[in-house]
Amino acid sequence: MRPTVGENRETSNVDVTLVLTHDCNLGCSYCYTGAKFSKRMTPETAAKAVELAFSGGARETQLSFFGGEPLLAYEQLVRSATEARARASASGVGLKMSVTTNGTLLDAARARELDALGVYVALSIDGTREAHESGRPLMGGGSSFEQVARGLDVLVQRAVPFETISVVTPQNAHLVGETVEFLFAAGVPRVGLNPCYEAAFTDEELAGWERGLERAADVMIDWYRKGRIVSVTVFDNKILAAIKGGLAEGDKCSLGQTSVAVAPSGNLFPCERLVAEDDSPEYLMGHLDDWKPSVEDNCARGPVNAECEPCGERWRCGSFCACSNRAETGRTDLAGGTQCWHERTTARIADRIAETLWEERNEPFIAWFYGRMAGAAPSPGAAEPTQEATMEDAKQPAKEEAHVAPRGRANAIPRAPRAPVTSRKRLVVVT
């Protein structure tokens, strides 16, 4: 069957991720993409993948470049981005593009080229040298910090919206506060903190993580008080969801329905996090030449946990994420205890940030969060000009929560309804 994405669905956008190569020059301890082997997407496959992104008649499409390390296939990335840009111009379809890179192969010329093509960059750096070196070595060993920091500097110097992604592991969770402080001081506008749910965290490590998140919140508040808009995605998403009155179905990722990841072989998966070595039929949806349009049978959505139904945080909980669930529990529809803890903890701390800055009538805060809700730009002088596009253009695991629309609750910071904290060990399966 000829493939399409989003056809016959009430959607205004589709999302196609090109996994350009399985290869990588780093050897991160937590990497979910599997063994790094030399298999790249051919130009023919890449052309079909771009065609897929424009296949369903959607008004907007998102094309994302992923790996391995996608800049190892830089020429193909540029070729595909150029094709997509031309196609969007000719058809009038809105196009957003992004690349998730480890930054080691990024230089000023490439950054300029990506910028000219309109490719938003998300750079993976795990924070301070200590936090980064705890899990992101070069392939074969040795620190990657200097190379990644050079890539980061290139992005900061060009003053174009971008974001960083820091993976939070048991080894570096206690350094989350320092990480956020370090990245904001370096000029990063938006910091993503992505929990490594594959890992088992001890209670002590969770306590260190929580202290780190509290410190990150203090850092964020301080920057707002100095007039600079900064973003920590795990907090921003909770605040936006609270202002909006909760996450709607449309805010969640569309996992294999209007979004799809294309492996170098042309095989199709519901999400880039499920491609791995492209050697398992478990989540395989078909091939670019043979499309299976639904993943409902093999990629169930949740959460189905008994505690979730009456939970006071469900309205803005990220436990709908099939890939995070699978990482922690092995099931796409079953939330795990660490994720539950993280959702409740970040919600509580995000509320503190919002309540503090709202009570102070902090102008950058109001411009950023409420101006966006009302469709207005952040107020000049309070906001950094790059920030508005940063939120809108982001392609990262929590992106669905950033795409929120106003619901007329722009005159008070709502308090989240609170439920008693459930121990992360008490989550059970509903059968």
Q: How many angstroms separate the CA atoms of 413 and 417, rounded?
A: 12
Which residue in this structure is represented by tokens 């092995």?
330
Interface mask (CB under 6 A) for ligand SF4, residues 389-428, using x and -?
A: ---------------------------------x------
Task: Name the strand (E) or helix (H) holding 81.
Answer: helix 74-91
Structure tokens at 143: 């620190």
Query: Which of 189, 256, 302, 303 lies at the binding interface for ligand SF4 (CB under 6 A)?
Result: 303
Q: Between 203-225 and 337-359, two packed helices, what is the crossing angle to 10 degrees?
A: 20
By the rule CB under 6 A, 314 interacts with ligand SF4 = yes
Report the nearest approach of ligand SF4 to the CB of residue 123 (Å).
10
**Cβ-based nearer residue to ligand SF4, 102 or 362:** 102
Q: Min. distance of Cβ 82 from ligand SF4 in angstroms?
A: 24
Please pick, from the candidates 15, 83, 272, 313, the single residue that binds ligand SF4 as defined by CB under 6 A: 313
Q: What are the backbone angles phi and psi of residue 100, rounded to the nearest 5°?
A: -105, 115
241 binds ligand SF4 (CB under 6 A): no
Q: Does 121 bind ligand SF4 (CB under 6 A)?
A: no
Compare residues 59 and 426 and give the one whose CB is closer to ligand SF4: 426
Q: What is the C-alpha to C-alpha distance for residues 268 and 287, in angstroms, rounded to an integer?
A: 5
- Which residue lies nearer to ligand SF4 by CB, 314 or 326? 314
CB 215 within 8 A of CB 176: yes
Find the shortest distance in angstroms from Cβ 76 to ligand SF4.
16
Asked if 307 is part of the footprint of ligand SF4 (rule: CB under 6 A), the reply reads yes
Q: Does 323 bind ligand SF4 (CB under 6 A)?
A: no
Using CB under 6 A, pick the residue from 88, 340, 366, 402 that binds ligand SF4. 340
- What is the sign of the dihedral through the CA atoms of 41, 46, 48 and 52? positive
**Interactions with ligand SF4, residue window 23-42 (CB under 6 A):** 24, 26-28, 31, 33
Q: Which amino acid is at 394?
A: A
| # residues near ligand SF4 by CB under 6 A | 25
Q: Which stretch binds ligand SF4 (CB under 6 A): 43-51, 200-208, 303-311, 356-364?
A: 303-311
Is 215:177 a contact under the CB 8 Å cutoff?
yes
Q: Among 229, 242, 275, 244, which Cα is nearest to 16's? A: 275
13 or 147: whose CB is closer to ligand SF4? 147
Q: Which two tokens stand for residue 209?
A: 């993580």
Residue (344 or 372) nearer to ligand SF4, CB: 344
- The verdict on 215 binding ligand SF4 (CB under 6 A) reads no
Strand spans (E) along 68-196: 94-101, 119-124, 162-168, 190-195
Shortest separation between residue 69's beta carbon and ligand SF4, angstroms: 5
What is the radius of gyration, based on Cα positions, of the chain? Answer: 20
Query: Whose CA is closest to 100, among 196, 170, 31?
Result: 31
Q: Does 344 bind ligand SF4 (CB under 6 A)?
A: yes
15, 58, 65, 69: which one binds ligand SF4 (CB under 6 A): 69
Q: Which two tokens stand for residue 376?
A: 């207005």
Tell me whether residue 81 or residue 122 sits nearer to ligand SF4 (CB atom).
122
Question: Counting contacts by CB under 6 A, is residue 152 touching ligand SF4?
Answer: no
CA distance 115 to 100: 14
Sign, Cα dihedral of 173, 196, 255, 104: positive
When asked if residue 68 is in the footprint of ligand SF4 (CB under 6 A), the reply is yes
Helices 203-225 and 233-244, interaxial angle, to 10°?
70
Question: Is cis: bond before 68, omega within 30 of 0?
Answer: yes
DSSP assignment of 4-23 equals -SSTTSS-SEEEEEEE-BS-
CB of 53 to ligand SF4, least distance (A): 22
Question: Rule CB under 6 A: which residues touch ligand SF4?
Answer: 24, 26-28, 31, 33, 67-69, 102, 124, 303, 305, 307-308, 311, 313-314, 317, 319, 335, 340, 343-344, 422
